[in-house]
Amino acid sequence: QKEVEQDPGPLSVPEGAIVSLNCTYSNSAFQYFMWYRQYSRKGPELLMYTYSSGNKEDGRFTAQVDKSSKYISLFIRDSQPSDSATYLCAMTEGGAQKLVFGQGTRLTINP
Amino acid sequence: DTAVSQTPKYLVTQMGNDKSIKCEQNLGHDTMYWYKQDSKKFLKIMFSYNNKELIINETVPNRFSPKSPDKAHLNLHINSLELGDSAVYFCASSVASGNTIYFGEGSWLTVV
């Protein structure tokens, strides 16, 4: 079993829909959780960063962490075609050197 | 100004050749990385350097040799390229005490 599981998709939704992306993990020591967005032919860019359980909101994006269930989510409201990308979750016990990535979910927002 | 820059972006080469990918960061970070992303988008760490010192060396063939002339640069040299080396290689950097890393744009390596 991988430490971090993420459905690779692809996921295709109409513009304006609410998108939910998820990851599960097995290591209960993970404390820092991130979402990266990767456009085609580009490097991953940090989108959201959260510590421990709870929600964090940034514009149309909400990151949610449920440590009891070992489950993290990224919600995108009012999705736009420009949100079309691969979204990778990442997490660590502490320290960027120990960052573990999910496989990434390929998302397409259709106009 | 690009924070983490790597060259070349695209590289097509024949089996058996030796090639290098260069990376530079201007973020003032003290830790740099090489990641490999395969066709299924899995990102796997290959190497990590902190202040020019090798910290992480995952199970990578000896044909891959990183070199860090200073803390702002981390180059990757690959000897005797094989078909299976075809992938995207990402350079990244972070502060040693941080939890997040910042990636370059990637170098697409195709071995034919």
Residue B39 sits at the chain A interface (C-beta within 8 Å) = no
Q: What is the pLDDT of residue A62?
A: 97
Per-residue pLDDT tens, chain A, 111 aa: give them: 789 999 988 999 999 999 999 999 999 999 999 999 999 999 999 999 998 788 999 999 999 999 999 999 999 999 999 999 999 999 999 888 889 999 999 999 999
Q: Shortest CA distance to A50 belongs to which of A61, A38, A34, A62? A: A34
State chain B's mean pLDDT as an integer. 92
Q: How far apart are alpha carbons A85 and A38 in whole angstroms?
A: 6
Q: Quick one: A56 exposed, middle or buried, by C-beta within 10 A (0-12, 13-18, 19+)? A: middle
> For tokens 């200073």, what's the residue?
B70
- A42/B101 CB distance under 8 A: no
Query: B16 pLDDT band (50/70/90 cuts)?
Result: very high
- B99/A95 CB distance under 8 A: yes
* Residue type, position A39, single letter: Y
Residue/partner pairs of A54-62 with CB below 8 Å, 24 or more apart: A61/A35
List of chain A residues whose C-beta atoms are within 8 Å of the C-beta of residue B92 = 43
CB B47 within 8 Å of CB B34: yes
B58-107 confidence digits (pLDDT tens): 878 999 999 999 999 999 999 999 999 999 999 999 988 888 899 999 99
Q: State the smallest CA–CA distance between residue A42 and chain B in angstroms.
A: 5
List of chain B residues whose C-beta atoms are within 8 Å of the C-beta of residue A34 = 99-100
Q: How far apart are the first and last CA of chain B?
A: 34
Query: What are the residues facing B108 on neighbouring strands?
Result: B10, B88
| Phi, psi of A37, rounded to the nearest 5 degrees | -115, 130
Q: State the smallest CA–CA distance between residue B80 and chain A in angstroms.
A: 26
Interface of B with A in 49-88 (CB under 8 A): 55-56
Q: What is the pLDDT of residue B1?
A: 63
CB A90 within 8 Å of CB B99: no
Q: What is the pLDDT of residue A95?
A: 85
Q: State the smallest CA–CA distance between residue A98 and chain B in angstroms.
A: 8
* Residue type, position A80, single letter: Q
Q: How far apart are alpha carbons B29 and B94 in whole angstroms?
A: 5
- B90/A43 CB distance under 8 A: yes
Query: B41 pLDDT band (50/70/90 cuts)?
Result: confident
User: Alpha helix locations (H) across chain B?
Assistant: none
Q: Provide the 10 A C-beta neighbour count for residue A32.
A: 21
What 3 state SS string does A4-18 have?
Answer: EECCCCCEEEECCCC
